[in-house]
Amino acid sequence: MKKIIVTGGAGFIGSHTVVELVNAGYEPVIIDDFRNSRESALQGIETILGRSVSCHRADCNDAEAMDKVFRNEAPINGVIHFAADKAVGESVTDPLKYYGNNIGSLVVLLKVMKVHNVNDLVFSSSCTVYGQPDHSPVTEESPDKNASSPYGTTKVLCEQILQDHKIAEPKLKVTILRYFNPNGAHPSAQIGELPLGVPTNLVPYIAQTAAGIREELTVHGGDYNTSDGSCIRDYIHVVDLAKAHVQAFDFMDRKNAPLAEIFNLGTGNGTSVLEVVKTFEEVSGVSLKYTVGPRRPGDIEQIWAEPSKANNELGWECELSMKDALADAWRWQQKLAE
């Protein structure tokens, strides 16, 4: 059974990926410092799987702590690196936090992987590397624009670090997964998105508004050049996204030669913020109170994925719909209120 380190494995995407790794016959080992996640996620994972998963509380910027985990859990067959700060708006107001953590943690991880001769890495990147594209859908060959936020810039720089490090370390295999907009929750309602404080992502804010936790939802911008004036994104169910990480390891196993491949992970469909609101109302039966406010710094107008490369080379495709994702997110929010 192959053992996979999952940094940030108690977070939203990380926890779902841990479940899918176990379902596929891998043995995940979580590293998380729980400053952007909650330990309750571990109980949710255990409830779904009927067993616990090894977890180490550590900061990925702490080289000594990381080295200790790798030594104690040896042999390690691969790593998925989720751990990062990820709020676009916060990155605009506190860029040094994002440069220090997101870039620093990757550098530490790569050094520790080299010491322990671990050569397979799946990196959690983002469609923010495309900035505001000239047109959508975007392919992996679409030019990287200037990222619209420091968060996006950290992903651009991390991808460049991986490409450079790959040249220096020929044994390294790297798969870079560029996520579009993950949402939803596990259908069991045992794990889901757990924002600390006010949500920065759309769907948990919608769910909290429907539950009465938030007074109203603010739609950031109603004057974009889109059909209804609100931003357009590619919303992908988190379970579909999690499964792609399993496929990434299968892909690297099939490739004898070292590689550094990039894949878009999205549905291939663009959905506006107001369309998400209306679909949530339809799925939940709850009328949402919302207003249209000013644009938010760091946001781009519209982007969605061309996922053909992931479909063809990873053997992965989305199976769940926007309605599935919103129904699962609402079920998760209702469980939190119990």
Active site residues: 151
Residue type (1 letter), 190: Q
Q: What pairs with residue 265 in β-bridges?
A: 179
Give the separation between CA 49 and CA 158, rounded to whole angstroms: 33
Rg (alpha carbons) of the chain, rounded to whole number: 19
Neighbours of 225 (CB within 10 A): 7
Neighbours of 284 (CB within 10 A): 20
Q: What pairs with residue 225 in β-bridges?
A: none
Q: Provide the terminal-to-terminal Cα distance of the chain, rounded to the nearest Å.
A: 37
Which residues contact residue 328 at a Cβ distance below 8 angstroms, ignoring those fewer than 6 apart? 184, 185, 186, 187, 189, 192, 237
Residue type (1 letter), 88: V
DSSP state of 97: H
Paired sense of beta strands 217-220 and 27-32, if any: unpaired
Which stretches does DSSP call E strand in the chain? 3-7, 27-32, 55-57, 78-81, 120-126, 173-179, 181-183, 217-220, 232-233, 235-237, 260-265, 271-272, 290-293
- The runs of H, that is alpha helices, within 94-201 are 95-98, 104-115, 150-168
Give the separation between CA 285 and CA 282, rounded to whole angstroms: 5
Give the separation between CA 196 and CA 107, rounded to whole angstroms: 26
